[in-house]
Amino acid sequence: MSRSLRARAFGGAMSLTCGAALIASTFTVPAAVGTEALPELMREADEEASVVEVVVADATELDRLVDTGADLDHAVHDNPDGTYTAHVVATPGEVAALAAYGFNIGDVVHDEDDTEAALAEREATISAARAENAAFAAEVAASAEVADVKVIRADYYTNFGQGYLSVEAKWTNGQNSTSTLLVERDSGPGTEIGSGGTQNITRFVDASVYMYHRGASTVSTRPDKIRVTSPSGDSVVVEVTDWLPIEGDSIFGPNYQTDFINSYLTPTELYQRIHDLQAEFPQISEIVELPYKTNGYRRLAQGLLGTANANRVGIDSKAWGHEGGNGIVVSTVNPGTANSPLNVSVSGKNITVSLATNASGAVTSTAAQVAAAINASPEASDLVTAYTYRGNAGTGVVAAGTATLTDGLQAPASVSREPQTVYALRIGKVRDGSKMGVLAYAQEHAREWVPPLVTIEAAERLLRNYAHDGKTKQLVNNLDIWIVPSVNPDGGHYSFYDYASQRRNMTRHCALTGNADFSARNSWGVDINRNYDTYSRFDGYNGASSSCTSDTYAGPAEFSEPESRNIDWIAATNRNIKFSMNLHSSGNYFMWSPGAYITPGRISAPRPSLADEAFFWGASSRILTEIKRYRGMSVTPARTGPISDVLYSAAGNSGDMLWYKYGIYGWNFEVGTQFQPPFENANPAGASAHAESQEYANGLIELMRVAYDLDKDHQKPSSSVVSKPSATPGMIDVTFDVSEPASVFYTLDGSAPTFDSTLYAASGVREGAETITVPKGTTINFFSVDAAGNVEKNYRPDGKGKNYNKTTVK
């Protein structure tokens, strides 16, 4: 679909949503207990982070947890009693803060298998769900022939060789009753329903609104048909479809080479790897230096004097640690005489503060006075800045002590401390913008070490197979492929060498009156995937924080960080890019827009059109099938879909920016089940960076094949009207049938349809197309256009064309 068509399709919804955003422009986290001021979530540098379980009562409470800025590791699952269990990366101090907010803290998660959990699915628009429920109930009430239960999906899939049946169904009384629905299955074609066993599916309620019943069960044989029965006795029989079937061999040739990953790679090593590749294959690749350098893997040298908040003094060097800040020594000394004044002296890199004493010789200098004296000394203030501890009044008396300033950074000298250029590897025989573009980028979140390996594996496969594999040559000759293995190199280096749980970049935005001291150094940085300019926190959307110590900190402004500006620059200056993959971990999800909503009310960013939703699902099936081909790992149906359906709101994420701002089909991988799994695993089905790099590289290459196929698609779609009598006398229910994923534009007033006409829409998330009810005798004029921009019958939708489709329903 062209960008102009997508803008037309989303125009009205976008204006309504942005209007709502103006009303809800600021988020607050309500206190759950008491009225006292609640603590801020912040990590002290001497605390170790763990993954802990937090149990919340419902989806509203889950949103409240997200709003605290808690660092969710993507594992959230619903419990039989309707509660949710979230896994949060937290230090003991953060756990105490969450408890003060009224959250129920559960077990610490030790076993890596325990970190994998099913995410609760959620609908993005609650009002739409209510309307769907009401429409279904009205349909049942109007006709005795319509069952009060309908099946949304019935999927058979295998995961590591085990068969599963996943069923989603809706019941008219699901809002009011907690009863389960009975699913009976046959044991194959021609067998009796029930012979394959039964299972119960339970209802899914989100924000107090019933969505549907769902559940999955292991099966010994693939069922052909199932029967779903409601508590009233109504039932419906449907055929089971295959989810991610694998048919035939790989499309690549027998000499196709894979498996180029041998270990984890730091950002420095990632960049060296793509430079080496480009040097080896200069005819079909180039290195692109992205325009915005990062702040760098560097910090000011810091120290703390004192032990209690009231008598602590924070010290920051004026120079970066590696440029002279490291090794500055600040000492407070008792002069040992009575009535001595407060005095500051400097010798080289040594700052000595002689504390004031009273008539009895006791020290009287407070933290506030010491900080002021250091800052007032021309020689000392050339070297350092002093401040009281985290905004404290500093009334405590300072004791004698010494602080040796350090930036605390542990990486070897081979890791540059200077502002870092972010590099992209551009692959393609033709790289002038005339070919279909595909963007793959990883490590927006620093601690996610596996996703960069996926991009390197894919790059190696493209370049090393080009000379001898026809399918690879087809991709490289016809696509313009951009690979950014590390968007956030500063944070990546910090995660490797200093603090493994680092999510953000390293830039400190905290004021000196806040959490800016040395002990807070593991709490700084901006969540790059919350710093973009589309449906962001600054527009009033949920899932990003204004706190400079939150792991979902959106930054002081949209695009405040060079890392996010680089991704925007790639999209803005290369308008041939039509596909993207944002690689993250963990959880084994596959998602797309919308990725953000407003609470309360779950006011979602605009949903894709029916055609685009169908295209997302169809392309996803291809991509996920190739992932499964490597070792049988299935990304399940429940973990596939729009971000705000299968995860939670993520305001200001890059996928939404690429989709809504630039019209790029953007997907998001959540690779594996943990951030830093063992590189190898004796269990073939276990968490393994090596295996995950291979299976998801399969998927990334398949995305490129999807792009290639769309670019070469010149087949025009066809569309037709399907009609049946409505439950309302004198009315007809109408749907459109299309030959492929395509948008249908139609009129009911006899006029020629154009791109400004009504766009046929989806009735709801995961439920297919809407039903239009019109009077008998209505003439419907319509045409279709597919994702490649092919218009049915070569019709000119400018209001002057005549060869549109015309049907009169009777």
Q: Which residues does the annotation mark as catalytic? A: 670
Phi, psi for residue 552 in degrees, rounded to 5: -115, 30
Query: What's the CA gap between 435 and 478, in Å, rounded?
Result: 6
The 3-class secondary structure across 568-605, one letter per residue, is HHHHHHCCCEEEEEEEECCCCEEEECCCCEECCCCEEC
Contact between residue 755 and residue 800 where contact means Cβ atoms under 8 Å apart: no
- The secondary structure element, H or E, covering residue 564 is helix 562-573
Q: Map residue 338 onto helix, strand or coil.
A: coil
* Residue 604 and residue 596 in contact, taking contact as beta carbons nearer than 8 Å: yes
Report strand pairing: 384-388 vs 350-354.
Answer: unpaired
The Cα 221–Cα 188 span in angstroms is 7
Which residues, 6+ apart, have CB-to-CB distance to 175 below 8 Å? Answer: 133, 205, 209, 210
β-strands 577-584, 665-670: how paired? parallel
How much of the chain is in helix, strand and coil states, percent to nearest 5?
A: 25, 25, 45
Integer Cα distance of 17 and 169 in angstroms:
29
CA angle 664, 455, 618 (to 5 degrees): 45
User: CA 285 → CA 365, 389, 431, distances in Å?
Assistant: 64, 52, 8
Nearest alpha-carbon partner for 355 in 346, 366, 453: 366
Tell me whether the omega of the peptide bond preceding residue 586 falls within 30 degrees of 0, making it cis. Answer: yes
Enter the tokens of residue 583: 């690689």
- Ramachandran category for residue 260: left, alpha or beta (phi over 0 → left; psi -120 to 50 → alpha): alpha
CA separation for the pair 698, 408 (Å, rounded): 40
In whole angstroms, give the CA distance from residue 417 to residue 51: 31
**Residue 162, strand partner residues:** 159
> Which position has the token pair 């959250």?
103
* CB 439 within 8 Å of CB 581: yes
Name the one residue in this structure whose structure tokens are 């401040």: 387
- Give the Cα separation of 196 and 241 in Å (integer): 16
- CA gap 525, 445 in Å, rounded: 11
The one-character DSSP state at 232 is: T
How many CA atoms are closer than 13 Å to the CA of 637, on its beta-carbon side? 22
E strands along 292-447, which residues? 300-305, 313-320, 329-333, 343-347, 350-354, 384-388, 401-404, 423-427, 436-442
Please tell me whether the peptide bond between 562 and the residue prior to it is cis, using omega within 30 degrees of 0: no
Give SS3 for 390. Answer: helix
Residues 756 and 750: their CA atoms lie apart, in Å, by: 15
Contacts of 203 (CB under 8 A, 6+ apart): 171, 174, 177, 178, 180, 210, 211, 212, 213
CB 666 within 8 A of CB 595: no
